[in-house]
Amino acid sequence: MPKVAVYNMKGEQVGDLELSETVFGAPVNEGLVHQAVVRYLANQRQGTASTKTRGEVSGGGRKPWRQKGTGRARQGSIRAPQWVGGGTVFGPKPRDYRQAMPKKARRAALRSALSSKVASGELLVLDELTFEEPKTKKMVEVLQNLKAAGASALVVTGELDRNVILSARNIPGVGTTRAGDLNVYDVVAHARLIATKDAIAKIEEVLG
């Protein structure tokens, strides 16, 4: 069963925490993690890119010159693709880029990503993370105390904490989320994963 140190906001170790073997000690399936990341990025695409074909651009209703006798190449419309202002051939049209992935596979991918963070020593656990008011300076101090400043980090809290979100949002490379919204892409995209004890408990409750 994996075990990690628990720190306070001053960076002092205040205890140890045994993690669930099922969630944080699972075999790392890189292929499944890759599939989950590709799916996440694909689902972020709006798919609204659109171009007009020769039948959709305005103009070009009549034949520009007669078929024979002019010495020029035959043309049927000034809105054909080879004309300036003409239609686009095989251009993008609105489409849905969303990809499906079974729930069990999504959860297995998240377990793999979390287990990888534990194995590489990139998971830091805080006993609590609370601010009386939004203060970027205080969040920077916490990161420095944890020796996580300068690297990208994802801060995970048990519940939505407005003061934590506002304190971290102006720090480059630092993101925040609650345990219930944790996804594979965010875990993989950040070098450090900083989670509170109650966030760890919620993650184990969902994925255990």
**In this predicted model, what pLDDT tens digit does every residue of 132-171 receive, in sequence order?**
999 999 999 999 999 988 889 999 999 999 999 999 999 9
- For 92-125, the pLDDT digits (tens) are 999 999 999 999 999 999 999 999 999 999 999 9
Question: pLDDT at position 128, please?
Answer: 92
1, pLDDT greater than 80: no
| pLDDT tens-digit map of 43-88 | 999 999 999 999 999 998 899 999 999 999 999 999 999 999 999 9
Both structure tokens of 116:
């990888």
Q: What pLDDT, on the 0 to 100 scale, is given for residue 90?
A: 96
The pLDDT, as a whole number, for residue 181 is: 94
Give me the residue spans of the domains in the chain: 3-44+99-207, 46-96
- The answer to whether 132 touches 170, Cβ cutoff 8 Å, is no
Q: What does the pLDDT read at residue 149?
A: 83
Q: Which structure tokens are listed for 67?
A: 């078929």
Answer whether residue 89 shows pLDDT above 90: yes
* 81 three-class SS: coil
Q: How large is the angle between the packed helices 197-207 and 103-119, nearest 10 degrees?
A: 140
Cβ-contact 134, 167 below 8 angstroms = yes
The CATH fold of domain 3-44+99-207: Ribosomal Protein L4; Chain: A; (3.40.1370)
pLDDT at 179 over 90: yes
